A and B are shown apart, each in its own frame.
Chain A
Amino acid sequence: MGISIVPTLKVLKPVGLIIGGGFAGLLLGYWVNVTYFADDAPQQPIDFSHRIHATDFEIPCMYCHVQARRSASAGVPSVSKCAGCHQEVATDRAQIKKLMAFWENKEPIPWIKVHDLPDFVHFPHNRHVAAGLECQTCHGPVETMDRVKQIAPLKMGWCLNCHKEYEVENGLDCWTCHK
């Protein structure tokens, strides 16, 4: 009478099924997460469309993001900036009513940050605007997006490529960008 591996395999079958099924579930979950819940284009508290504002009505970027050419941070426009137009314009829409609720409660809109750099990075918007860079070079075609999505990787190698290409003065020194 020979020794067979079959009884052992029969015992292990349910365990194998559980592990295999679990693994397939993980893969499926990962795919669903990446495809439908990617955080590079988060759902914002108000469905603000850059396409309507920047393409259809041709409002320049720096009409709302006024701080971009003046300070390190480009800045999100204040609610009063939105209200400046929307007290008169398109007041019957659902999203605008949401906006005006923030305005009447005197609360800031809790926008979700899309282009987020780590705290140890010093990125001055004003220096880059002064150097003549287009907003789209780093942010992609935001004026065509209904919901803003991160296009560029915003990684160190990606920054350095540009600094090398344009031969930025001291552009490769660590302390130019780190802090």
Chain B
Amino acid sequence: MNFFDRFTKGWQKYRKPGYYEEFDYAWTMTIDLDRCTGCSACVTACQAENNIPIVGEKAFAKGRQMQWIRIERYWEGEYPNAKLSFIPMLCQQCDAAPCETVCPVSATYHNQDGLNTQIYNRCIGTRACAVYCPYEVRYFNYNDHHWDAPLDQQLNPDVTVREKGVMEKCTFCIQRIRTAKDEAKDDGRRRVRDGDVQPACVQTCPTEALVFGDRKDPQSKVSKKLKDPRAYRVLEELNTLPSVVYLKKVDADG
């Protein structure tokens, strides 16, 4: 088998319909918009856990802010009758991710946990993935960032500090998933139990609007949440099959 055959065969195997059903885990997050108060604790927790830089005023004005999870605000109506709603937006970890197909160096790919992952040192910074992402949740390092003296001590050693010219995105705190899997292995268990692993945003959410787990386990908290009739996915019509499921906010007036 020559290189070309091997390449096409491998690609077909990777891209056959439903290939993501065969993975070990299917990590899923549900976000209950009825519970979300828009407090931004998840944003801060993510910033601390994943060494996300504070870009500063100038870069922010250019639209170069970095937040792997952000709270989007939507106003409806005019002032006296104005209604405000929030939606936390993070990488949807799509099973059929548009960003993966476009990367020329395969720096972003689907791993065996069904996660859409990014390898920073492989990324060459074409930014094509950010263009393809319909959720606008990929962030590019336009500059090298540094942390002033006491703050560099709080950097998470399990996460790289990304350098200039590298794309980055939410990983579902893959370093915590990795640790949980290692612990499961040490205990002689084959799988991670429900509740063993939580991303930083889920851990921090004061109203427990965010729930994280494996949807392959029918007993997990997240599987029960998925049966809620309020469940929907953002931009479902694009058929990206996101792993983040939102539970619709139901008002008194419908």
B158's partner among A127, A130, A176, A179 (CB-CB below 8 A) is: A179
Q: Output the least CB separation between A69 and chain B (Å).
A: 11
Give Cα A120–Cα B121 distance, bound, in whole angstroms.
Answer: 7
Cβ-defined contact, A170 with B112, below 8 A? yes
A-B contact count (CB 8 A): 36
**Range class of the A interface residue count:** 10 to 19
Cβ-defined contact, A173 with B112, below 8 A? yes
Cβ-defined contact, A130 with B117, below 8 A? no
Cβ-defined contact, B119 with A178, below 8 A? yes
Cβ-defined contact, B160 with A120, below 8 A? yes
A120's partner among B120, B174, B175 (CB-CB below 8 A) is: B120
Cβ-defined contact, A174 with B119, below 8 A? yes
Considering the complex, give the chain B residue whose CB is closest to the CB of A118: B121
Which residues on the A side are within 8 Å of B160 (C-beta)? 119-120, 179
Which residues on the B side are within 8 Å of A36 (C-beta)? none
**Given A170-B112, A174-B111 in contact, is the A119-B174 Cβ separation under 8 Å?**
no
A122 at the interface (CB under 8 A from B): yes
Q: Mark B167-191, 1 if CB is under 8 A from A, else 0.
A: 0000000110010001000100000
Q: Mark B96-112, 1 if CB is under 8 A from A, else 0.
A: 00000000000001011
A63 at the interface (CB under 8 A from B): no
> Could you tell me which residues of chain A, from 87 to 135, have a CB within 8 Å of some CB in chain B?
118-120, 122, 124, 127, 130
> Could you tell me which residues of chain B, from 76 to 117, have a CB within 8 Å of some CB in chain A?
109, 111-112, 115, 117
Q: Mark B138-159, 1 if CB is under 8 A from A, else 0.
A: 0000000000000000000011
Cβ-defined contact, B111 with A124, below 8 A? no
Give Cα A124–Cα B158 distance, bound, in whole angstroms.
Answer: 11
A166 at the interface (CB under 8 A from B): no
Give Cα A140–Cα B117 distance, bound, in whole angstroms.
Answer: 34
Cβ-defined contact, A175 with B174, below 8 A? yes
Give Cα A170–Cα B174 distance, bound, in whole angstroms.
Answer: 14
Which residues on the A side are within 8 Å of B119 (C-beta)? 174-175, 178
Cβ-defined contact, A179 with B111, below 8 A? no
Considering the complex, give the chain B residue whose CB is closest to the CB of A169: B185
Q: Output the least CB separation between A46 and chain B (Å).
A: 27
Q: Output the least CB separation between B193 and chain A (Å).
A: 18
Q: Output the least CB separation between B183 and chain A (Å).
A: 11
Which residues on the B side are within 8 Å of A130 (C-beta)? 186
Give Cα A127–Cα B175 distance, bound, in whole angstroms.
Answer: 15
B231 at the interface (CB under 8 A from A): no
B109's partner among A118, A120, A127, A174 (CB-CB below 8 A) is: A174
B71 at the interface (CB under 8 A from A): no
Which residues on the B side are within 8 Å of A175 (C-beta)? 111, 115, 117, 119, 174, 178
Considering the complex, give the chain A residue whose CB is closest to the CB of B159: A179
Give Cα A80–Cα B54 distance, bound, in whole angstroms.
Answer: 40
Give Cα A157–Cα B120 distance, bound, in whole angstroms.
Answer: 18
> Could you tell me which residues of chain B, from 1 to 58, have a CB within 8 Å of some CB in chain A?
24
B161 at the interface (CB under 8 A from A): yes
Interface on A for B, CB 8 Å cutoff? 118-120, 122, 124, 127, 130, 170, 173-176, 178-179
> Given A170-B112, A175-B115, 17 more contacts at CB 8 Å?
A119-B160, A120-B120, A120-B121, A122-B178, A124-B182, A170-B24, A174-B109, A174-B111, A174-B117, A175-B111, A175-B119, A175-B178, A176-B178, A178-B120, A178-B121, A179-B159, A179-B160
Interface on B for A, CB 8 Å cutoff? 24, 109, 111-112, 115, 117, 119-122, 158-161, 174-175, 178, 182, 186
List the 5 closest pairs (A to B, CB-CB), nearest first. A120-B160, A120-B121, A174-B119, A173-B111, A175-B117
**Can you list 29 contacts pairing A with B, beta carbon distance less than 8 Å?**
A119-B160, A119-B161, A120-B121, A122-B178, A124-B182, A127-B182, A130-B186, A170-B24, A170-B111, A170-B112, A173-B111, A173-B112, A174-B109, A174-B111, A174-B117, A174-B119, A175-B111, A175-B115, A175-B119, A175-B174, A175-B178, A176-B178, A178-B119, A178-B120, A178-B121, A179-B158, A179-B159, A179-B160, A179-B175
